[in-house]
Amino acid sequence: MRFALTARRLACGAAVLAFVLVGCATDNGDVDDPEGTPTESPPKQEKPSTGDKPAFEPEFDPPDPPDDDPTPPDGDQCIDNDDPGASENVAKVLPDTDDCDNSYKTVKGVAKGAVDVDFYKLSATDKFGCSLDTDFEGKTAGTELCVYARCKNATSNAVTGCAQGVFMPPNDIGMRGCCAAAPGRAVPNWDCDGFTDDDSADFFIRVRQINGDKCLPYEFRYRY
């Protein structure tokens, strides 16, 4: 009996010792546990700092500059920034001239339809020793050129006819003149009173569009 009890105690002690050894081996990592082993995480990628430029910078063409020309593409608007007045008292004044200067002077304007009338004023001086070679010529087809004259030393009508053009009765301010359709010339004949034979005169030049109603740039020239 005592031998059997001793053997049983030895067997129980051996079992307990085996259990303790197995637990120790597990704590020391000697036994692999594939399910419990953590896997390594991939390294984190650092974000580029806000000061770094991107690898690709798209480039765009600069916008077209604004169009300073106010005229629309269909051309409905007629631009005339220096429009002369529509009557003698608001006529655009041209540079003074005299009969010693025989060079032509060219004037340009815009007729804005059939109702637009442009007036110009010219003061011309008859100087001693020089001869008159007066000429007024319309250059643009579709316009009419009229020239009215009055002597500087008198208010009476001095125009007696036309060297070229059609003779016209007195206008609104009492002057006679000559008219011609362009291309053509309107040149009045005049003779001022007095013994000095001074034919200095003021001329009023009228330009208007005929047989049309459009935006028509025009040109005329003159000399005294």
Q: Are residues 13 and 115 in the same domain?
A: no
Q: Answer yes or no: is 6 within a domain.
A: yes
Q: Are residues 6 and 106 in the same domain?
A: no
- pLDDT tens digits along 97-155: 999 998 999 999 999 998 999 999 999 999 999 999 999 999 999 999 999 999 987 77
Buried b (16+ CB within 10 A) or exposed e, 90-129: ebeebeebebebeeeeebebbbbeeebbbbbbbbbbbeee
Q: Answer yes or no: is 51 within a domain.
A: no
Q: Answer yes or no: is 66 within a domain.
A: no
Residues 6 or more apart whose CB falls under 8 angstroms from that of 139 comprise 182, 183, 218, 219, 220, 221
Return d(Cα 86, Cα 155) in angstroms, integer.
22
pLDDT at 30 over 80: no
Q: Are residues 9 and 95 in the same domain?
A: no
Q: Are residues 20 and 113 in the same domain?
A: no
Q: Are residues 134 and 202 in the same domain?
A: yes
pTM comes to: 0.65
Q: Answer yes or no: is 21 within a domain.
A: yes
Number of domains comprising the chain: 2
- pLDDT tens digits along 164-213: 999 998 888 889 999 999 999 999 999 888 777 789 999 999 999 998 89
Q: Answer yes or no: is 166 within a domain.
A: yes
Span of 21-35, 42-56, 88-102 with lowest mean pLDDT: 21-35
CATH number (domain holding residue 200): 2.60.120
Q: Are residues 99 and 195 in the same domain?
A: yes
Q: Are residues 131 and 219 in the same domain?
A: yes
Q: Answer yes or no: is 108 within a domain.
A: yes
Q: Answer yes or no: is 40 within a domain.
A: no
pLDDT at 31 over 60: no
Q: Are residues 5 and 93 in the same domain?
A: no
Return d(Cα 92, Cα 176) in angstroms, integer.
19
- pLDDT tens digits along 56-95: 555 656 555 554 444 444 445 788 888 899 999 999 999 9
- Amino acid in position 167: F
Question: Which residue range(s) make up the domain with 14?
Answer: 1-28
Residue 185: per-residue pLDDT: 98
Strand pairing partners for 125?
Answer: 98
Q: Are residues 169 and 99 in the same domain?
A: yes
Q: Answer yes or no: is 18 within a domain.
A: yes
In order, the DSSP letters of 30-82 are: -S--TTTSPPPPPPPPPPPPTTSPPS-----PPPPPPP---S-TT--S---TT
